[in-house]
Chain A
Amino acid sequence: MRMPLFLTMIYDELIRPMLRNRKSLIGLSGLAVFVLVAVLGPCFIPLELKTDFSRRFLPPSLRHPLGTDYFGNDIFQQIVHGAPVTLSLAAAIALFATMIAAIVGVASGYVGGVVGRLLDALTNLFLVIPSFPAMLVIFVMLGETHWLVASALMAIWMWAGSARNIKSAVYSVRSMAFVEAAEGLNLGSFHIVVKEIMPHVVPYVFASFVSTFRGAIEASIGLMFLGVLKYNPLHWGVMLNLAIFQTGAIYVPHALHYPLSVITFVALLLLFTTLLSYGVEEAFRPELRGYE
C-alpha cells in the first residue's frame, strides 16, 4: 500500500503541476529532445574526426548539415556526440549540489539551535563567494581530473542558494500540526524528517535540482570556453572555445556557420532549462503565475 501512495503523491505534487504549466511543459519537451539526441544520436550518427584542411569551413550542405570546422570535421556530428558529454556533466554537478543542499537545508531547518546557526553561517558564506572565479582557481591549481571529480568540485560552489530555499521549506512544514502530532507521539526525528517532512519538501528539492542544472550548464560551458577545464574536446564549451578563441573562426566571414551553430545549440539548451526551471518554480508557487 505504501509505494502506490507515494507514487500518487509524486504525480499529484510534482508531475501534474509541471505538465499543467506552459513554461515547464515547453522546457521539459525541449529538454527531452536534447536528452533523446544525447542518448540515441551517437548510436546512429558516426563520429569521424580526421584533420583535413582542404575541407576547412565548408558551408552547410546535405553531407554536412551544419558545415565543417577549422579541421575539416563535420560540426553536426560533433554537436550530437558532445550532447551526452555536456548533459551528463551538468546533471552530475546538479546531483551533487542538490544532495549537499538537501542535507544542509533539512539539517539547518529541522535541527536548529547552534548546529542550525552554524550551517546557516556556512550557507551564507558560500552564497557570497563568487562561484565562477572560485571554480577557475580550483581547476587551475588542480590541472586535469576525472569528470566526476570535476563535477563534485564544481558542486561545492553551487549548493548554497538551494540549501537556503530547502531550509525555508522545511521550516514552514516543521511548524505544521501533523509534525507536532508526530513529535507528540514520540516517533523519533529520523521518522519525522524522512516520512513526515521530506514528502512535502520533495518539490522544492526538485526545483533546486532543475535550477542548479541550468546553472551547471552555464558554469561548465563557461569554464570550458575559457579553456580551464578540458577533459573532452566534444563538450560544447570546448567547441565554443575552439570556434571563438583558438581557430579565429569569428573573424573569418565564410566561417559564420561554425560559431553560430555552436552558440545556437548552447542557447537553446539554456533556454529550455531556464523555462523548465521557471515553470517548475511557478507550478509550486501559484502566486507568481502571470497568465495561463
Chain B
Amino acid sequence: MFFSSQLRYYIAKRLAFLFAYIFCALTLVFFIVNSMPGDPAYSLAVYYMQVYNLKFEDALEMARRALGYDVLKPVHIRYVEYILNLLRGNLGFSLFYKRPAIDVIAVSLPWTLFILTLATILGYFMGTRLGVLAAYRRGSKSDVIIYAVSVVLLSLPPFIFAIIILYSLGVGIRILPIGGAYPVWTTPGFNFDFIVGILWHAVGPVVAQALAQLAGWSIGARNVSVVVLAEDYVKYGVARGLKKSTLRKKYVWRPARLPILTGLALSFGYMLGGSTLVESVFRYPGMGFQLAQAMAYRDFGLIMAIFTIIIFTVLSASFIIELLYPFLDPRVRTE
C-alpha cells in the first residue's frame, strides 16, 4: 500500500521540488550577495592591514589574490563557475584553515545536527503533549499556566536562554561545562567517559534550543487542537463513550498534527539559523560556531560554503518531513 505508484509519483515530485528549491535559493542568495555595493576584498584588506601591518594598497592586492576574486570577471561568469563547482562537490576553499571548506564543515556539521535533532525531538514531543493537554482543559487553571509559561518562554530567543544557562548552571553553580563538545581529558572514541562527556556538554545547547521550541509547539498544538475539539465528530465520539485515550490519539491528534508538522521544517530552519548564536555562547564546535569564527577571520570562502550547506540542510529537512506526510495523511496517499 505504501509504495503504490501514487506514492512513487509523490516522492519523485517532492524530490524534483527539493532540487528546484535548492537551485533557486542558491541562485537568489548568490545574486543578492554579489549585488552588495561592498567589496569583500576591501573588508579582508582592512583585516590584513591590522594583522600583517601592511600598507592599504598591498593589503588590497593580497586580499584580491587570496580570494581568487577577479574584479574584471562579470557576475554571470562567476555565477556559472559557482554552480559548476557546486555540482563537482567543490564548495570553495577556507583561507583560515588552508583546507577545502567541505573538510572543515564535515567536522563541525555532525555536532550541530546532533544538538538540533535532540532539541527538536525534546521540544516537539514535550511541547505538543503540553499543548493538547491545555486544549483539553481549555479555560482551566492548568491551561492558563501552560499558556502563560509558553508565552514567556517563546518570547525569548534561544541565545538568551543559552546565556542564562551558561551563567547560572555553568559559571554560577558549576554543574555544567562552560564550553566545548566533550571533556578534554577523555579520548574520543567509543568509551564510556567520552559518551557521557558528550551528553554532559550537550545539555546546555540542547536545552537552550529546545525551550523556545517547546513553548512554540505547546501553543501551536493547543490552538490546532482547540479547533479540532470543537468538531462534530469529536462530540459524536464523546457521545459514543469512547475511551479518552482513543479519542485523543485517533480523533483529535490525527488531524491536529498535520498543520503542526508543516511548522517542524520551518522551526528546524529557525534553530539552525539561531545555532550560530547558541553555539558561540557555549563555544560548541558546531557549524554555527564555525560560521562565527569564519566571520571573525574574514574567511569568505568558508562563510559562503557554510551558508550553502545551511540551505541544503534546511531544505533536505523539509523534504524528509514532506516524505512523512503520506504516512500520516491518507489524503496525500491517494491524491
Contact = CB atoms under 8 A, between A and B. Distances in A.
Interface of A: 23, 121, 124-125, 127-134, 136-138, 140-143, 145, 156, 214, 218, 221-222, 225-228, 240, 244-245, 250-251, 259, 263, 266-267, 270-271, 273-275, 278, 287-288, 290-291
Contacts of B157: 218, 221-222, 270
A141 B139 contact: no
Contact of B32 (A156, A222, A287): A156
A141 B166 contact: no
Given A132-B276, A291-B144, A270 B43 contact: no
Nearest to B42: A143
10 contacts: A124-B21, A125-B25, A136-B303, A137-B304, A140-B295, A141-B43, A250-B166, A259-B167, A263-B164, A270-B160
B154 interface: yes
B280 A226 contact: yes
Interface in B241-281: 265-266, 269-270, 272-274, 276-277, 280-281
Nearest to A277: B155
A128 B144 contact: no
Contacts, number: 138
Given A128-B21, A271-B152, A141 B33 contact: yes
Interface in B289-335: 291-292, 295-296, 298, 300, 303-304, 306-307, 310-311, 314-315, 318
B159 A134 contact: no
A225 B266 CA distance: 23
Given A259-B163, A259-B167, A134 B156 contact: no
A263 B318 contact: no
Nearest to A266: B160
Interface of B: 21, 24-25, 28-29, 32-33, 36-38, 40, 42-43, 134, 138-139, 143-144, 147, 151-152, 154-157, 159-160, 163-164, 166-167, 171, 222-223, 226-227, 265-266, 269-270, 272-274, 276-277, 280-281, 291-292, 295-296, 298, 300, 303-304, 306-307, 310-311, 314-315, 318
B273 A130 contact: yes
B21 A291 contact: no
B155 A275 contact: yes
Contacts of A137: 29, 33, 303-304, 307
B163 A134 contact: no
B contacts with A: majority SS? helix
Contacts of B266: 127-128
Nearest to A228: B295
B227 A131 contact: no
Given A250-B167, A288-B223, A133 B156 contact: no
Contacts of B223: 288
A227 B281 CA distance: 13
Given A250-B166, A271-B156, A142 B37 contact: yes
A133 B307 contact: yes
B155 A274 contact: yes
B167 A226 contact: no
Given A130-B270, A132-B276, A226-B280, A267 B160 contact: yes
A275 B43 CA distance: 40
A141 B311 contact: no
Contacts of B32: 138, 156
